[in-house]
Structure 1
Amino acid sequence: MDAPAPGPSEVPEDPFALRNSASAVLDDHGRVVGWSERAQERLGYPPDEVLGRMAAEFLFESHDLEAVRDAVAACERDRSWSGVLPVLHRSGRRVELGFRARAVIRAGSAREWFLVVAPAEEVLQWETDRSVLDGLFRRSPIGLSVHAPDLSILRINRALARFTQLPAAEIRSRRIGDFLIGPDLKIIETRLRRVLETGAPLIFTEQRCRLRSDPDHERVVSVSAFRMEDPSGGILGVTQLVEDVTDRYRARRRLALLNRASARIGTTLDLGQTTRELADVAVPELADAVSVDLLESVARGDDTAEEEGGPVRRMAVQSVMAEALQVMYAAGEVFHFDPRTPQARCLAEQQPILEPELRSNPRWYFQDAERTRRAVDLHAHSLIVVPLTARGLLLGLLSLWRADRPEPFEEDDLTLAEEFAARAALCIDNARRYTQQHQAALTLQRSLLPQELPEYSAVEVAHLYLPADPATGVGGDWFDVIPLSGARVALVVGDVVGHGLHAAATMGRLRTAVHTLASLDYAPDEVLSHLDDLVNRLADEQEPADGRSRGPQIVGATCLYAVYDPISRRCTLARAGHLPPAVVTSDGTVSLPDLPEGPPLGLGGLPFECAELELAEGSLLALYTDGLVEARGLDLDEGLSRLREALSRPGRSLGETCTAVQGALLPEHPPDDVALLLARTRVLAPEQVASWELPGEPTAAARARHLTETTLTGWGLEELAFTAELVVSELVTNAYRYGGGTPVTLRLIRDRSLICEISDSSSTAPHLRRARTTDEGGRGLFLVAQLTERWGTRYTRDGKTVWTEFPLAAAVPGHFAAAANHVPDG
């Protein structure tokens, strides 16, 4: 829609124009000799009352005559005068009028004065309008250009002439393209044509431009434009106001860039990601190519500072020029800066360096000549190098180049780069410190977990452990395989609530407690009961004495404890708030046994129950933590379904099965710790086990010695027969003495060691003591301990079993000497 034509009051008009003004003629003595009709309208005097009279007699008051004489003197001097004087209306009121007087020479050298009069307020408005117009073209600091409908330039003011660096007279009749260059020229002309066509003004629109006289520097101008029309609405052209806002635009852009940097740098505590974020923010807004280099010690997460000239590691590179990325050292490379480079000087002096012009050489020095030559060909012309320092520690440096854009770096760019570096250095140092702490936590966590699992006769095992994503922190998941008496093995997996060092430390304490409880041969439900008490005590220890909270505390854990016997093929399990294990048969059938679900550890006072499974030889038992089946944000049912699918393929090794489970369920960085323990069951052959029930009679010991000697001879262990007979005789005799005459069971197991077990119905625990020289007995268990590698007692529902283990090697001669002088009790 066209803009409405301006009203009459909006168009300035000369108040002294003859059609608008009143006029009068005075002779050289000041008498009125001419009087117009408009003068009669303005002042009320008809011609017959004023002609021939002195103007000073009726037009001016006495106190105004001094101003009149000054005006007359000015007329005499300059032959013309203009100004404002108060005049008396015929009615007697004073009227402020503007005068314009000029001397007129008549025939015969007679001089008269021609006066033009207009209301003072109109004259003042007109003079103001003229002053504004004159100021716009002569004194205004904002550029002004007037264009014809074809956009040729009609006139520009002095400010625009200074901006274009061309005289105003030379620009008239030219076009914008005669002094501006670049792709934005079409945009400027298109916007002016739109103003001409629509009449809609252009208001404070920022536009980039380059002058032909200075093509290497980009300018930013703020443009406003409006259409010019005559009183009838005809289009005369367009006027635009141009203000150079380059400095303001750059300051605003730098501030916006700093705000983006604050939001984008340091989003994680990963050292590599933080440096990449710094490089990405700086390109292309500030530089054409950027590299971030850290001292090698910092990149490793160490506190030790590198000596001057030491190696650096390139952590991140970014460039708008693909060829620059091919020349620059790639991320991850370790190298030394050439001593000639500004980078080497920046590291040595720890001061920022600005080289606005790299005249003869871009100074991308490298150790190899070919890389240096290729770098020179890129024609980098400006360089900034800023040290990365935080908390008094030099971390590395940030290098910025310009090669693609012609503008060199300025002091303001150096200030911006320093601000970038300061903010990024704090984020890098935080990431470095976190990396140190995370590595320390991981080291602690790994030291608390099993390092290498040995071979077991009961099971073949494999495990998978993945720590949580660094942003989450280390967790408290753990697993264990603990050998027990009688060739049995305990399989354990647990998960401490929470993350961090507290969780890892608590996991270590629980794992140690499990080992201690397992050595006492407690049943799985008893082990969990004791662990429950321990977790409660740990929670109580964390309560501050003053009652103030220390923040989130670790108050619980889950655990699954299983004991597998390779002789009976029975597996006894109990769980405390933990997921049930998966059982895989040899044909690939996967099931999740319905085990009693005990409460998580730490609730206190609630019972745990055992369940017993009979497993065929070659069955696979999978114990895992919840991080495995919930890692990808899956619900529990879907996670368990994927686990079944990954486990259901027979014929694979345990290592291959671990890999398949990881691929099916785990992302690259799981949000929680993951522990997976796979155990494939084995069964001891019948010829490896011999068992007898002996009557509770005085001859039981002799019978036991005979059976032991015969069996070991058949197994080819004659060298152990004498020692084993002494131990078996001692234990059977004790069972007879304290068992009340009930039958005694003797069992021999040939495994990686020789195992002798004596079971009876008594719950009386054997007690090892050192007998005095005057005692007639009490040395039996002492000798048992000396003659065996390990010994102990485990309790069952029907009584107890005392077990011993002998290494499958020749007996120590000293042991035989001690045993030869001993006669078993009874």
Structure 2
Amino acid sequence: MTETTASTTPRTDTAPRRHELLAGSGEAVVLCDRHGTVLAVDGRVELLPDTGPGAMIGARPDTGTLRWRRHDLPDGRHLWYVRDVAEETERTDALLAERARSGFLASASRRLGLSLHPARTARAVVDLAVPKLGDTAMVLAPPSAGRVSWWRSDASGWVQQTRLPEPVVDAMAGLRTHCSPWVVEELTEAGWLWPAEQRPVSALVISLPGNGNPAGVLVLTRSAEFTDEDLALIEEFCSRAGIALAGAALYADQVRTASTLQRSLLPAPLPYVEGMSFGAAYRASREALRIGGDFYEVLPLSDGTALFALGDVCGKGVEAAVLTGEVRQSLRALSRLERDPLRLLALINETMLDGKAMPDRRFVTMVLGHAAPAADGGLELTLAVGGHLPPLLLRGDASVEPVDLRGTLIGVFPDARFAGGVVRLNPGETCVLYSDGVTEAKGSRGMFGERRLADALTGCAVMPAGAVAERVELLTTEWLGGRDHDDIAVLALRADPTC
């Protein structure tokens, strides 16, 4: 009896699609009758070039790297699924290698992102490179003042720029020098292959790409040749390392710039003027910056008197700090020409308007005063106010008296009008100037407010000026309870009692 099989059925237009589907599975499929005679082969037929219809397949056909898996059909026929184990192993190895490569790069990115310190970032680059990328590694920073800093896993230092080997010079210029015997020779002659180590077979000097310019150079050595796969991984790693080093260098530059700005804008130590004492407290809204829009200034004059001021620049942060510096410099320069507070405020207003780029809505509020010792040991204060909170006078009987002076903002109107007046401090009495960072400090129970400030000052009547200022700043900080706040500035002037 002749057995009817699927192989006698003419192929239809769906056969190529089935063949492609089976080929995509990675297996060859062999249909056999109940006696083991091959009826059809489909799928990855290239795995079985000598097997076709009519061939006989035994019960255990596994040969070489081919693995056969049998599946019996209800009508007595059976199928063999055949796959190449060597190919699967190769694909698995490739997949594992790619996962290891991706895992290494991801781990490197995380570690390189942990620090913005240039030296620690360079050290991390070296630690990550050994032994994954090379037997030894060295990172060199871009030249600075004719010197090049370098880091290894066990040491760091610097070398004169004129003593760099040619491959390193090329890499510093952005040219990537790959491994070659010439590189090993160049590094050996320059003394850069360290005596304690065996002479490497390969050396690689590669530029670390940065922000427009190389962020440094990585030197790798190996006791074996670098493969193409090694070079691809190294270049990908160098891209990440270069970004991290460039970011750390940029951050370090910003820190140095901010530090220089801070030193130039921080208030000078309060001077000593006979017959009077000053105390101040300051807290910037951004603690890391240490400077902001509030400021105070005390300028002793040659005649034994003093100019003093406390102001508030519109805004916060660096922009406000820059304007603060401009206003303080104007105040210092103009005080050599004018000592009357009202006229001095008018000159500052004109100076700000002359240098203002339109539209520019920055403005300043300020209390400016001139303190002159009186014959009885007290002080005569000539005050001028431009848009600022009124000063408070702490009297000898512990009462607090506001000086009702307001005036308009400084740096807004050409015809600004400022309020002025004269007050007297008896020996032991204090004048307190403060910014709105005190009265507008928001705590869990609302704003600190002017009334609460006045109540706090009633207990400070016998305190020296420095203690009064620190007391106000402390109470304000406690009221905030750790919340965000505006710049806080306090300046206290006390008429020293005569002994």
Alignment of 1:623-662 (within 5 A): 623-626=433-436, 637-638=447-448
- 1:559, CA displacement in angstroms? 0.9
Residue from 131, 139, 145 that aligns with 1:305: 145
SS, match of residue 574 in structure 1: strand
Q: Which of 555, 561, 576 is 2:386 aligned to? A: 576
Is contact 1:571-1:614 (8 Å) kept? yes
In the TM superposition, residue 494 of structure 1 has moved relative to its aligned partner by: 2.1
What are the equivalent positions in structure 2 for 1:585-734 lying under 5 Å apart?
A: 591=400, 593=402, 595-604=404-413, 605-626=415-436, 637-638=447-448, 665=477, 675-683=489-497
Amino acid at match of 1:336: G
Deviation at 1:576, TM superposition (A): 1.4
Question: Aligned pair in 2 of structure 1 residues 505, 612: CA closer, same or farther (>3 Å)?
Answer: closer
Residue equivalent to 1:462: 279
The answer to whether residue 233 in structure 2 is matched with residue 413 in structure 1 is yes
Contact kept, 8 Å, 1:458 with 1:487, in 2: the verdict is no
Check conservation: 1:386, 1:417, Cα contact below 8 A: no
* Structure 1 residue 563 corresponds to structure 2 residue 384: no
Q: Deviations over 1:155-195 (max 9, x none)?
A: 98543234448xxxxxxxxxxxxxxxxxxxxxxxxxxxxxx
TM-superposition CA deviations, 1:666-718 (whole Å, max 9, x none): 999x9976654332322468xxxxxxxxxxxxxxxxxxxxxxxxxxxxxxxxx
What per-residue deviation string (whole Å, max 9, x for no partner) do you get for residues 11-39 of structure 1? xxxxx973x47xxxxxxxxxxxxxxxxxx
CA distance in 2, matches of 1:433, 1:255: 27
Q: SS of the residue aligned with 2:310? A: strand
CA distance in 1: counterparts of 2:256 and 2:373, whole angstroms:
45
- Deviation, 1:490, is 2.9
Contact 2:121/2:244, CA 8 A, preserved across alignment: no
Tell me the residue number matched to 1:507: 327
Instruction: Quote the Cα distance in structure 1 between the aligned partners of 2:140 and 2:454.
Output: 43
2:276 maps to a residue whose letter is V
Q: 2:26 aligns to what?
A: none
1:423: which partner in 2? 243
Q: Provide the rounded CA distance (Å) in 1 between the counterparts of 2:45 and 2:257.
A: 69
* Distance in 2 (alpha carbons) for counterparts of 1:684 and 1:553: 49
Q: Residues of 2 paired with 1:483 and 1:135: CA distance? A: 100
Match of 2:42 among 107, 132, 144: 132
Question: Could you tell me whether the CA contact under 8 Å between 1:136 and 1:144 is conserved in 2?
Answer: no
2:386–2:419 CA contact under 8 A, matched in 1: no
How far apart are the structure 1 equivalents of 2:396 and 2:165? 65
Q: 1:492: how far off?
A: 0.7
Amino acid in structure 1 at the alignment position of 2:240: F
Letter of the aligned partner of 1:556 in structure 2?
F
Match of 1:726 in 2: none
* 2:171–2:177 contact (8 Å) kept in structure 1: no
AA partner of residue 245 (structure 1): L
Match of 1:434 among 249, 254, 260: 254
Structure 1 pair 644–554 and aligned structure 2 pair: CA distance change class (3 A): farther
> 1:96-495 counterparts in 2 under 5 A?
118-121=8-11, 130-133=40-43, 135=45, 157-164=82-89, 245-246=95-96, 249=99, 272=117, 304-307=144-147, 335-336=156-157, 350=171, 390=210, 410-445=230-265, 451-464=268-281, 475=292, 477-483=294-300, 487-495=304-312
| Post-superposition offset of 1:417 | 1.8
Structure 1 unaligned spans of 5+: 1-15, 22-97, 101-117, 149-153, 166-218, 222-243, 315-326, 330-334, 356-372, 377-382, 402-408, 544-551, 686-826
Q: Does 1:529 align with 2:346?
A: yes
Tell me how far apart the structure 1 counterparts of residues 220 and 446 of structure 2 sit (CA, whole Å). Answer: 50
Summarize deviations over 1:634-656 as a string: whole Å, max 9, x none.
Answer: 99923876898699567766556
Asked whether the equivalents of residues 335 and 344 of structure 2 are also in contact (C-alpha less than 8 Å), the reply is no
Q: Scaled by the length of structure 2, what TM-score is found?
A: 0.57
Q: Deviations over 1:541-578 (max 9, x none)?
A: x35xxxxxxxx746421111133444254544332122
Question: Could you report, residue by residue, the CA deviation over 1:206-255 in whole angstroms, capped at 9, with x for unpaired residues?
Answer: xxxxxxxxxxxxx968xxxxxxxxxxxxxxxxxxxxxx534655676688
Work out whether residues 580 and 593 of structure 1, in 8 Å CA contact, stay in contact via their aligned partners in 2: yes
**Identity percentage over the alignment?**
18
Any conservation in 2 of the 1:460–1:681 contact (CA below 8 Å)?
Answer: yes
What is the CA deviation profile of residues 127-182 of structure 1, one whole-angstrom value per residue up to 9, with x for unaligned ones?
A: 9664335649659xxx989699xxxxx998543234448xxxxxxxxxxxxxxxxx
Distance 1:161 1:534, change over 3 A: closer
Q: Aligned equivalents of 1:157 and 1:414: distance in 2?
A: 39
Task: Name the SS of the counterpart of 1:531 in structure 2.
Answer: helix
* Residue type of the alignment partner of 2:405: P
Aligned-residue RMSD, C-alpha: 6.3
SS in 2 for 1:599: coil
1:585 deviation in Å? 5.7
Larger RCO of the pair (alpha carbons < 8 Å, separation 6+): 2
**Equivalent AA in structure 1 for residue 145 of structure 2:** A
Tell me, yes or no, if the aligned pair for 1:574 and 1:608 is still in contact at 8 Å: yes
Is contact 1:643–1:661 with CA below 8 Å preserved after alignment?
no
Q: 3-state SS of the aligned residue for 2:335?
A: helix
Say which SS state the counterpart of residue 410 (structure 1) adopts. helix
Change (3 A) 1:247 1:145: farther
Pair 592,384 (structure 1): closer, same or farther in 2 beyond 3 Å: farther
Q: Which amino acid aligns with 2:428?
A: G
Give the AA of the match of 1:557.
V
Give the superposition deviation at 1:457: 1.9
Shift of 1:437: 3.9
Partners of 1:390 and 1:429 within 8 A in 2: no
Question: Aligned letter for 2:385?
Answer: R
Question: How far apart are the structure 1 equivalents of 2:335 and 2:453?
Answer: 32
| TM-score for the superposition, normalised by structure 1 | 0.38
Query: What is the letter of the counterpart of residue 598 of structure 1?
Result: G
Gaps of 5+ in 2: 20-28, 30-39, 50-65, 72-78, 180-195, 198-202, 222-228
What is the CA–CA distance in structure 2 between the aligned matches of 1:346 and 1:440, rounded to whole Å? 37
- Separation in structure 1 between the aligned mates of residue 95 and residue 424 of structure 2, nearest angstrom: 85
Query: Following the alignment from structure 1 to structure 2, what is the Cα–Cα distance between the partners of residues 514 and 572?
Result: 17
Tell me how far apart the structure 1 counterparts of residues 119 and 454 of structure 2 sit (CA, whole Å): 36
Change (3 A) 1:489 1:502: closer
1:465 and 1:676 mapped to 2: Cα distance?
7
Q: 1-side partners of 2:119 and 2:286: how far apart?
A: 16
Checking the alignment, whether the CA contact within 8 Å between 1:480 and 1:493 is kept in structure 2 is: yes
- Structure 1 contact 566–683 (Cα < 8 Å) conserved: no
Measured after TM superposition, the shift of residue 456 of structure 1 is: 0.9
Contact 1:312–1:336 (Cα < 8 Å) also in 2: yes
Tell me: CA distance 1:506–1:125, structure 2 relative to 1, closer, same or farther (3 Å).
Answer: closer
The question of whether the paired residues in 2 share the 8 Å contact of 1:472 and 1:671 is answered with no
